Amino acid sequence: MKRLSFALLFMLSASAASFAQDLKLPALSPTSKITQEFSTSSIEISYSRPSMRGRKIFGELVAFGNVWRTGANSATKVKFGEDVVIEGNNIKAGEYALYTIPGEKEWEIILNKGVGNWGNAGYATTDDVARFKVAPRMMDKNVNTFTMQIGNITYNTCNIEMMWEKTKVIIPVKVNNEERLSAAIDKAINNPTVPYFQAANYYYESGQDLNKANQYVDKALEQNPKAFYMWALKARIAQKMGKKEDAIAAANKSMETAKGSAFEAEYMRNNQKIIDSYKTKK
Higher pLDDT, 96 or 24: 96
pLDDT of residue 21: 64
What is the reported pLDDT for 4?
47
Same-domain check for residues 203 and 131: no
**pLDDT for 11:** 54
In this prediction, residues 245-261 reach a mean pLDDT of: 90
pLDDT value at residue 281: 64
Least confident residue range of 10-14, 132-136, 155-159, 256-260: 10-14
| Whether residue 182 is found in the same domain as residue 270 | yes
In a domain, 274, yes or no: yes
Number of domains in the chain: 2
pLDDT at residue 3, rounded to an integer = 52
Task: Specify if 16 maps to a domain.
Answer: no
**Are 98 and 234 in the same domain?**
no
Instruction: Give a three-class secondary structure readout of the chain.
Output: CHHHHHHHHHHHHHHHHHHHHHCCCCCCCCEEEEEEEECCEEEEEEEECCECCCCCCECCCECCCCCECCCCCCCCEEEECCCEEECCEEECCEEEEEEEECCCCCEEEEEECCCCCECCECCCHHHEEEEEEECCEEEEEEEEEEEEEEECCCCCEEEEEEEEEEEEEEEEEECCCHHHHHHHHHHHHCCCCCCHHHHHHHHHHHCCCHHHHHHHHHHHHHHCCCCHHHHHHHHHHHHHCCCHHHHHHHHHHHHHHCCCCHHHHHHHHHHHHHHHHHHCCC
> 49 with 119, same domain?
yes
Based on the domain organization, do 256 and 145 belong to the same domain? no
Please tell me the least confidently modeled range out of 159-163, 225-229, 236-240, 260-264: 260-264
pLDDT value of position 238 = 95
Give the pLDDT confidence of 196-231 residue by residue, as tens digits.
Answer: 999 999 999 988 899 999 999 999 999 999 999 999
Tell me: do 47 and 154 sit in the same domain: yes
Q: Which of 139-143, 181-185, 222-226 has the lowest mean pLDDT?
A: 181-185
Res 191 pLDDT > 70: no
Selected residue with higher pLDDT from 19 and 276: 276
C-alpha to C-alpha distance for 236 and 255, rounded to whole angstroms: 14
CATH number at residue 253: 1.25.40.10
Do 165 and 188 sit in the same domain of this protein? no
Domain holding 111, by residue range, is: 26-174
pLDDT of residue 189: 73
Average pLDDT of the segment spanning 11-19:
52
* 93-130 pLDDT tens trace: 999 999 999 999 999 999 999 999 998 888 999 999 99
Q: What is the pLDDT of residue 178?
A: 83
Which of 174, 191, 214 marks a domain boundary? 174
Determine the average pLDDT of the residues in 179-192.
78
Residues 116 and 231 in one domain: no
Average pLDDT of 28-49?
96
Per-residue pLDDT, averaged over 254-282, amounts to 86
Of the candidates 102, 32, 93, the one whose C-alpha atom is nearest the C-alpha of residue 66 is 102
Query: Does a structural domain hold residue 65?
Result: yes
The model's pTM is: 0.76
The rounded mean pLDDT for the chain is: 90
Do 149 and 36 have their domain in common?
yes
Q: What is the pLDDT of residue 5?
A: 55
Contacts of 212 (CB under 8 A, 6+ apart): 199, 200, 203
Query: Per-residue pLDDT averaged across 51-80, rounded?
Result: 96
